[in-house]
């Protein structure tokens, strides 16, 4: 595999609003890359620039080493699947899939074979004559994929294609998309604001916020080693606290010193203010007085496979979020323990690009 897409210094404004503030991104061939972030972070604009629907104000777009910044959308070897699927309601399934091939004057025998091939790939054999309004949301999504596949693009751009589906169907389609990517051997560039989708499907996740790329890496890297508070908070649930390094591998949170595995070698010398991330599943419940700190359970929810609890610290300064498989009662006093390797230390933001979320701890 080699680099297929490269963005260099992409800047884009709409009216007086700067949407992208210097985006550099590399996408490898056959990679499944997800752009993840909240609404308005710039991920859809990034996708549209790659697709040729929007031209950047500054920066260049490269495809397979060739500068395509000025290349029209219809000449780029990419296809886009939109959230609303953009199927033609007056055409049946086969006519929808065939549309772009007929525009290119492909032979009818070729078109017929391609329709059958695409429908088989998306597990909808025999649906050629179905009307669009006879299809479920999941089936329409598959037809939109089939229509894109027949054009043999090297890249599929997918703009929140599962957003309109219910939870169960969305989860099923996540696995279908991964299967299709492997079978077709093409590059997927996927947009979502759903963290679970990003972690489930991707080879690489690119977390965006306010026009900047905050972090990129494998799902495991993004989840286990977030670079700042925004990434930690956006990827899964987190307890994010202001702390102070008091010594090598020792951080102080709310006047309590916690052993950790980060120190000056990682850029955190003593007296350095830091952000501290502790995942709720990493807090172990101990008998009262037997952990690093104590608290009282003030609320509890059953989430199917585990309990989610809020625990008020004894001094009333912090509400800890915990996830635990064992049942505990509201009002119960507990001790809590966190292993040093599960205390993640991060630099506090120093610039607009690094600034992530406002913390009120």
Read off the pLDDT of residues 50-101 as tens digits, 9 standing for 90 and up: 999 999 999 999 999 999 999 999 899 998 887 777 889 999 999 999 998 9
Residues of the chain above pLDDT 90, percent: 56
- Tell me the average pLDDT across 192-205: 90
- Tell me which DSSP letter residue 132 carries: G
- The pLDDT tens digits for 143-163 are 988 888 888 889 999 988 877
Per the prediction, the chain carries an average pLDDT of 89
Is the pLDDT at 182 greater than 90, yes or no?
A: no
Is the pLDDT at 118 greater than 80, yes or no?
A: yes
- Tell me the average pLDDT across 298-320: 91
> What is the pLDDT, as a whole number, of residue 355?
53
- Between the alpha carbon of residue 230 and those of residues 17, 99, 238, 273, 356, the distances in Å are 21, 43, 10, 17, 4
> What is the pLDDT, as a whole number, of residue 151?
83
- The pLDDT tens digits for 330-356 are 999 999 999 999 999 988 866 555 554
- Tell me the average pLDDT across 102-121: 90
If you average pLDDT over each of 66-75, 178-187, 233-242, 258-267, which comes out highest?
A: 66-75
> What is the pLDDT, as a whole number, of residue 352?
52
> What is the pLDDT, as a whole number, of residue 48?
94
Sorted by where each starts, the structural domains of the chain and their CATH numbers stand as 3-224 (3.40.50.300), 238-347 (2.40.50.140)
Beta bridge partners of 324: 307
Query: What is the pTM (predicted TM-score) of this model?
Result: 0.82
- Tell me the average pLDDT across 175-180: 85
For residues 335 and 328, is the Cβ–Cβ distance under 8 A? no
b/e 160-199 (16+ beta carbons within 10 angstroms → b): bbbeebeeebbeebbebbbebbeebebbbbbbbbebebbb
Instruction: Say how many residues make up the chain.
Output: 361
Helix (H) or strand (E) holding 258: strand 256-259
b/e 124-150 (16+ beta carbons within 10 angstroms → b): beebbebebeebeebbbbbbbbbbbbb
How far apart, in whole angstroms, are the C-alpha atoms of residue 328 and residue 299? 10
| Res. 360 pLDDT band, cuts 50 70 90 | very low
Scanning 59-121, the segments in alpha helix (DSSP H) are: 93-103, 108-121
- Three-state SS for 356? coil
> What is the pLDDT, as a whole number, of residue 361?
30
- The pLDDT tens digits for 12-25 are 999 989 999 999 99
């Amino acid at each position: 595999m080699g680099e297929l897409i490269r963005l260099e210094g992409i800047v884009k404004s709409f009216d007086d609003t700067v949407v992208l503030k210097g985006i550099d991104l590399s996408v490898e061939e056959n990679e499944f890359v997800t752009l993840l972030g909240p609404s308005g972070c710039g991920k859809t604009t990034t996708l549209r620039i790659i697709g040729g629907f929007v031209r950047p104000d500054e920066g260049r777009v490269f495809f397979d080493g060739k500068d395509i910044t000025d290349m029209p959308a219809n000449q780029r070897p990419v296809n886009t699947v939109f959230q609303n699927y953009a199927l033609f309601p007056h055409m049946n399934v086969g006519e929808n899939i065939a549309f772009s091939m007929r525009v290119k004057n492909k032979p009818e025998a070729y078109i017929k074979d391609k329709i059958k091939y695409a429908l088989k790939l998306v597990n909808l054999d025999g649906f050629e004559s179905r009307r669009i309004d006879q299809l479920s949301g999941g089936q329409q999504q598959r037809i939109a994929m089939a229509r894109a596949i027949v054009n043999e693009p090297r890249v599929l751009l997918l703009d929140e294609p599962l957003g309109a589906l219910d939870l169960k169907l969305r989860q099923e389609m996540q696995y279908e998309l991964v299967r299709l990517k492997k079978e077709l051997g093409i590059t997927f560039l996927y947009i979502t604001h759903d963290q679970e989708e990003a972690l489930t499907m991707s080879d690489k996740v690119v977390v965006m916020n306010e026009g900047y790329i905050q972090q990129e890496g494998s799902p495991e890297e993004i989840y286990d080693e977030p670079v700042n508070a925004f990434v930690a908070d956006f990827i899964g649930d987190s307890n994010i606290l202001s702390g102070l390094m008091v010594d090598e591998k020792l951080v102080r949170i709310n006047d309590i010193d916690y052993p950790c595995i980060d120190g000056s070698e990682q850029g955190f010398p003593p007296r350095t203010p830091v952000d501290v991330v502790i995942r709720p599943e990493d807090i172990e419940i101990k008998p009262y007085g037997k952990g690093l700190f104590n608290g009282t359970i003030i609320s509890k929810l059953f989430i199917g496979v585990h309990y989610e609890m809020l625990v008020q610290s004894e001094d009333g300064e912090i509400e800890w979020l915990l996830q635990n498989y064992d049942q505990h009662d509201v009002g119960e006093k507990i001790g809590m323990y966190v292993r040093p390797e599960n205390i993640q230390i991060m630099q506090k933001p120093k610039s607009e690009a690094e600034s992530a979320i406002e913390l009120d701890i």
